Amino acid sequence: MELYKEKKLIKLFESWANEKAERIDPLPPSGSYREYYRIKGASQGAIAVFNPDYKENLAFIQFARHFRQHSLKVPEIYAENTADNMYLIQDLGDQTLFDYLIKVYQNGIFPRNLIDIYKKVIAELPRFQIIAGKDLDYKYCYPRMRFDKRSMMWDLNYFKYYFLKLAKVSFDEQELEDDFQKFSDYLLTAPSDFFLYRDFQSRNIMLVENEPYFIDFQGGRKGALQYDIASLLYDAKADIPQHIRLDLLDEYLEQLSRFIQFDRDEFISYFWGFVLIRIMQAMGSYGFRGFYEKKEHFLRSIPFAIANLQYILQTVTLPIDIPTLWKVLQNLPGSPHLKALQQPQRRLKVSINSFTYKKGIPADPSGNGGGFVFDCRAILNPGRYEKYKMLDGRDKEVIDFLENQANIKEFMEHVYGLVDRSVANYLERKFTSLVVNFGCTGGQHRSVYCAEQLAAHLKAKFDVQIELHHLELEQQ
C-alpha cells in the first residue's frame, strides 16, 4: 500500500513539475492522520499530502485558494487528485514558530525578536477572521459550518471522556453535563459571524525568512473572534510568560480595532471563557493521543495546560455559575495520576559571588548578561586591621566589626530592596538566572559578608535556588 501511494504521489508531482522526481521522503508524523512527503526533482520541489478524509482535503484546498486571493500567506496549491485523497502544496521548509520558540526561548527569557514575530502573526489574524472570512464559501467547512452548540459539546465531551476519565479524575457526570450546557450557552452569546481558524497555534505557523506562513486551517468555520487569539496565546508548550500574553492580547485588540468597532471590556470578558474551552479541547487531545494512543510526547504538554488552567482559576471570574466544572478543574493539579506527569519546574537560580576588583568583575556563565554588581569598597575595611587579616567575612569577629562599626546593615537594606524587586519580577516572568556580584579590594571581608547575607535573605524569602561562591577564597 505504501509503495502504491508513493507511486501515485510521484505521478502527481511529475505531472505538475514536468520533470522526474529524484527523491521522495516521508516527513515526521503530526497529531493528525494526514501523511506528508517531501518530493524533489532537478529544479522543482513540493510537499505531497495524503489524507483519507475527502471532505477535509476539499476544505483545505478551497480555503487555501481563497486566502491566497486575499494575499494571505498560505501555501500555494500546486496540484490535486482528490479522487485518491492527495494533493501537492508549496514547500515552506521545516521551521515552525514552535521550533523557533524552543530554540530561542531559553533560561526563562522570551526574547524581543520572538515577541516581534508574534506581533507579525497577530497582525495577520484579523485579516483571516474578518477580511477573508467575509466572502468565504462556508459550505466547504468540515465537519461543521459554525462553532455552534454541537461543536462546543463535542469539545467538552472530548475533554470529559479522553482526559478526565483516562486520567482517573472523579466527577458527577450529570452535574458536569449541566455545567457544560450552561458554559456553552454562555459562549454562544458572543458575536460569532467571523472566520474561526480553529487551530491557530505555533505548530501551524511556518517561518520563512522570519515571515509567518499559515497552515492547517481545514477545520475553520464561523465563530467568535476570541477563540483564535486564545489558541495562540495559551498554546500549552509554548509557555508564553503571562505578562507577555497580556501585552500580545493588547496588540491583537489594537490590530482588530483597525477592522471593526467593538466593546473592549465585553471582548475580554468573553475571551477568558474561550481560553477555558480551548484549554479543555487541547487537554482532550493530549489525553486521546497520550493516554489512549500511548504517544507519550503528548503527555508532556499536560503540566503546561494545567498551569494555564490554574492561572485562569485564580484570576478570572466568569459571569455564570458552573460550580462542578470549576471544582473539577481546581482538582486537576492534585490528581495523583497527573502529578506523575509533572515536569520539574524551572526554578530561578540566583548566583551570588564575592570577588576582588584586582581580578575584575566575574563573567556571567549563563550568557544572559545583566544582574547586579555592588561595590563594597566604600564600607570600612576590616582588612586594614591586623587582627582581622587572617579572617574573612564569615567569621564572627569580622561580622561583629562590620555590623557595629562599618554601618553595613544600611548598605544591605538598599541591596535587599533592589534585588528583591528583580527576583520577584523574574519569578513572575519565569526567568531562570540572575547574577549578583559583590566586590571589594581583596575579596575577603566586606564582599564575602554581603554575599553571605544576601544568600540567607533570599533563601528565607523566596523559593529560589541559591548558588554561592567566594571566588577569591576558593582560589586560596
**Distance between CA 391 and CA 74 in Å, rounded?**
69
343 pLDDT more than 60: no
Q: What is the mean pLDDT of the chain?
A: 93
**What's the start-to-end Cα distance of the chain, in Å?**
71
Average pLDDT on 221-247 reads 96
Kindly report, residue by residue over 169-211, the tens digit of the pLDDT. Answer: 999 999 999 999 999 999 999 999 999 999 999 999 999 999 9
Per-residue pLDDT band for 345 (boundaries 50, 70, 90) equals: low
Same domain? For 204 and 267 the reply is yes
Per-residue pLDDT band for 286 (boundaries 50, 70, 90) equals: very high
- 230 falls within a domain: yes
470 pLDDT more than 90: yes
Buried b (16+ CB within 10 A) or exposed e, 40-59: bbeebbbbbbbbebeebbbb
4 pLDDT more than 90: no
Q: How many CB atoms lie within 10 A of CB 166?
A: 16
Give me the pLDDT at residue 114, please.
Answer: 96
- 408 falls within a domain: yes
**Distance between CA 414 and CA 457 in Å, rounded?**
13
- 431 falls within a domain: yes
Across the beta sheet with 349-356, the strand order is: 372-375, 433-440, 349-356, 465-470
Give me the pLDDT at residue 86, please.
Answer: 97
Nine-digit cell string for 125 = 489574524
429 pLDDT more than 60: yes
**Which of 38, 67, 89 represents a domain boundary (last residue)?**
89
Nine-digit cell string for 295 = 504517544
**Distance between CA 179 and CA 167 in Å, rounded?**
20
Give me the pLDDT at residue 348, please.
Answer: 87
Higher pLDDT, 344 or 17: 17
Q: Check if the beta carbon of residue 199 is closer than 8 Å to that of residue 230.
A: no
Same domain? For 169 and 209 the reply is yes
Same domain? For 319 and 424 the reply is no
476 pLDDT more than 80: no
What is the value of pTM for the model shown?
Answer: 0.73
Kindly report, residue by residue over 99-113, the tens digit of the pLDDT. Answer: 999 888 876 788 999
- pLDDT exceeding 70 applies to what percent of the chain? 97
Average pLDDT on 234-260 reads 95
Give me the pLDDT at residue 108, please.
Answer: 74
Give me the pLDDT at residue 1, please.
Answer: 55
Q: Any idea what DSSP says for residue 258?
A: T
Contacts of 362 (CB under 8 A, 6+ apart): 353, 355, 435, 437, 471
- 239 falls within a domain: yes
Q: How many CB atoms lie within 10 A of CB 216?
A: 20
Give me the pLDDT at residue 231, please.
Answer: 98
Nine-digit cell string for 228 = 483564535
Taking CA atoms, 45 is separated from 7, 37, 77, 215, 440, in Å, by 16, 11, 13, 18, 63
Same domain? For 326 and 394 the reply is no
Contacts of 108 (CB under 8 A, 6+ apart): 346, 348, 426, 429, 430, 431, 432, 433
Give me the pLDDT at residue 267, please.
Answer: 98
Give me the pLDDT at residue 107, please.
Answer: 66
Buried b (16+ CB within 10 A) or exposed e, 294-327: eeeebbebbbbbbbbbeebeeeeebeeebebbee
Per-residue pLDDT band for 346 (boundaries 50, 70, 90) equals: low
Same domain? For 260 and 371 the reply is no
**Which of 278, 310, 339 represents a domain boundary (last residue)?**
339
Taking CA atoms, 308 is separated from 32, 192, 281, 295, 318, in Å, by 24, 25, 13, 22, 16
Nearest residue to 388 via CA among 399, 379, 377, 378: 399
Nearest residue to 247 via CA among 259, 229, 262: 229
- 108 falls within a domain: yes
Average pLDDT on 320-337 reads 93
Give me the pLDDT at residue 30, please.
Answer: 73
Same domain? For 142 and 258 the reply is yes
Per-residue pLDDT band for 455 (boundaries 50, 70, 90) equals: very high
Q: Check if the beta carbon of residue 213 is closer than 8 Å to that of residue 92.
A: yes
Nearest residue to 246 via CA among 342, 115, 403, 336: 115
- 209 falls within a domain: yes
Kindly report, residue by residue over 68-125, the tens digit of the pLDDT. Answer: 999 999 999 999 999 999 999 999 999 999 999 988 887 678 899 999 999 999 999 9
Same domain? For 309 and 371 the reply is no
| Beta-ladder partners of 77 | 89
The domain that holds 82 is classified in CATH as 3.30.200
Same domain? For 102 and 237 the reply is yes
**Distance between CA 299 and CA 395 in Å, rounded?**
51
Same domain? For 333 and 363 the reply is no
Give me the pLDDT at residue 254, please.
Answer: 98
**Distance between CA 473 and CA 469 in Å, rounded?**
9
Same domain? For 111 and 84 the reply is no
Same domain? For 373 and 322 the reply is no
Structural domain for 409, as ranges: 349-474
Question: Which run of H or of E encompasses 354?
Answer: strand 349-356
- pLDDT exceeding 90 applies to what percent of the chain? 81
The domain that holds 125 is classified in CATH as 3.90.1200.10
CA dihedral over 186, 192, 198, 201, signed as positive or negative: negative
| Beta-ladder partners of 195 | 222
Backbone angles phi, psi at 94, to 5 degrees: -120, -5
- 163 falls within a domain: yes
Same domain? For 377 and 410 the reply is yes
Taking CA atoms, 192 is separated from 74, 122, 221, 224, 297, in Å, by 24, 19, 10, 4, 34
Per-residue pLDDT band for 368 (boundaries 50, 70, 90) equals: low
Structural domain count, the chain: 3
Give me the pLDDT at residue 366, please.
Answer: 65
**Which of 277, 307, 339 represents a domain boundary (last residue)?**
339
Kindly report, residue by residue over 373-424, the tens digit of the pLDDT. Answer: 999 999 999 999 999 999 999 999 999 999 999 889 999 999 999 999 999 8
- 344 falls within a domain: no
